[in-house]
Amino acid sequence: MEETYLLNVEGVRKKILHGGQGELPKFQDGSKITFHFQTLKDDFERTVIDDSREAGIPMEIIVGKMFKLEIWETLLSSMRAGEVAEFWCDAIHTGMYALVSRGMRRIAEGRDPLEGQKHRCGMGNMFDYHSTGYDDLDELQRTPQPLIFIMELFRVEEPSAYKRDTWAMSKEEKLAAVPVLHSEGNRLVLRREFAQAAAKYQEAVICLRNLQAKEKPWEDGWLKLENLVTPLVLNYCQCQLELGEYYEVLEHTTELLQKHNDNAKAYFKRAKAHAAVWNEREAREDFMRVAHLDPSMAAAVKKELKQLGERMRKKHVEDRKRYQGLFQPGRGP
């Protein structure tokens, strides 16, 4: 079936190459659209610029989340599931394509899509002619031109029908997700599935940190969120201790203690990580801080210090034997 007609948008034409099924989906805010696309120049050869099938992974966008190439949401919202359509778009709609394509290509290459990007608004970047790192995209950036998009719509999922990425959640959704993730993490810890539990705690922390970024540091809103973050970070660190990721624990507990230098549990976990990597002096200092800050943990500290002393004595004996053996007659270093 071929049908050429104008969308109710200036500078856009649509041709249906293959009809879809069913009714037009409901494209409500938060819906996830999954599709493949091909981008072509409007020249005699119809030169292919990008093709999502080459990467092997369909494209996804969330309705209402300000995708940089706004016209795509408009184009997809005119399609049915299973439909394949060709859209001609005037340069008024394609000026941002070079920057969008650059990000998608970097993701496909396993690179950071924001690497080297200036902290400027979208319109500022649109008129910034520094190189994208791709010759064909540099040409599009210098001379915006009409483009052709061939799209195949696979599905449209309502917000409640799929697990939403953190960045796509509203403030209310993030706050609601945190206790659920916390509970799931605790359940996984009881089953000793520490890697999976750590992932749940980490996701909850990301939700809260995203919200914190919009608050003024150390004011009421920020502090309320920080009080939710702290136990999640400690739980995450406990999982990393169980997994033997001691330097990960040192990093996160140190960052936490820079904000909250009276947190005995953070010192305790950092001390255990120091002890595991043979930082005896640092471990002893942190264990002593724990006993000073929280006398109820004195028994646990005493036990840990005893174990640390035994491990260090054993290590010193082994080291002495090893070094003595190196210098025995008849043995080279």
Same domain, 191 and 90: no
**Residue 4 tokens, joined:** 């050429």
Contact between residue 156 and residue 25 where contact means Cβ atoms under 8 Å apart: yes
**Which of 179, 159, 176 minimizes the C-alpha distance to 168?**
159
Q: Is there a domain that residue 232 lies in?
A: yes
The residue type at 183: S
| 297 secondary structure, DSSP code | G
Average the pLDDT over each of 152-166, 203-217, 219-233 and give the range with the smallest value. 152-166
Of 157, 185, 210, which residue constitutes the final position of a domain? 157
What is the chain's mean pLDDT, rounded?
85
pLDDT value at residue 263? 96
Of 157, 181, 204, which residue constitutes the final position of a domain? 157
Same domain, 187 and 214: yes
Our separate counts of H helices and E strands in the chain read 13, 7
Cβ-count burial 13-26 (b if 16+ within 10 Å, e if not):
bbebeeebeeeebe
Same domain, 111 and 255: no
Read off the pLDDT of each residue in 3-18 and give the average, rounded to a whole number.
86
CATH number where 261 lies = 1.25.40.10
Same domain, 320 and 176: yes
Range of the domain at 62: 4-157
Total structural domains in the chain?
2
User: How many alpha carbons fall within 13 Å on the CB side of residue 105?
Assistant: 16
Read off the pLDDT of each residue in 263-274 and give the average, rounded to a whole number.
96
Of 96, 126, 157, which residue constitutes the final position of a domain? 157
Q: Could you tell me the pLDDT band of residue 80, with boundaries at 50, 70 and 90?
A: very high
Q: pLDDT tens digit string along 199-210?
A: 999 989 988 998
Q: Is there a domain that residue 124 lies in?
A: yes
Q: Is 225 helix (H, G, I), strand (E, B) or coil?
A: helix
Q: pLDDT tens digit string along 283-331?
A: 999 999 999 999 999 999 999 999 988 988 888 887 777 776 665 555 5
Which has more pLDDT, 164 or 284?
Answer: 284
Q: Is 3 helix (H, G, I), strand (E, B) or coil?
A: strand
For the chain, how many residues are written?
333
Same domain, 176 and 124: no
